[in-house]
Amino acid sequence: MSSERYVWAVDLAGNTTTRMYRPDELFNLREAESMAPGRCATIRVDQGVVFVAGHSRCAPRLWREATGSDENRPNAPWVAYRGISKEKVSTIAWAWLAEKQLV
């Protein structure tokens, strides 16, 4: 896995988009509640939620769940989040994507 890879990240609270590069340390996914059917996941941590789309097949459904709309969906892989710091989201999203071998 290349450290030069990134995923698009959308902060749903601030309505901003950024690139998230793979961090050095990844989150322990056992510390979170997740629903991950297939190659997309909804992960709840603390007071926040992280939506991770690892594949274009499930990304539209997850985008509608995250935003309530079909507008402005980025190409997979992407992550959308609210109620959690960008740094923590990066470690969570990359941990899940790496575990599923999607990036």
At 52 the pLDDT is: 95
pLDDT value of residue 1:
42
Rounded Cα distance, 16 and 22, in Å: 19
Please give the order of strands across the beta sheet that includes 48-53.
16-21, 6-11, 78-82, 48-53, 40-45, 33-35
pLDDT at 4 (0 to 100): 55
Instruction: Walk along the chain (103 residues) and give the pLDDT tens digit of each residue.
Output: 444 588 999 999 988 999 999 999 999 888 888 887 789 999 999 899 999 999 999 999 999 999 999 898 999 899 999 999 999 999 999 999 988 887 7
Entry pTM: 0.89
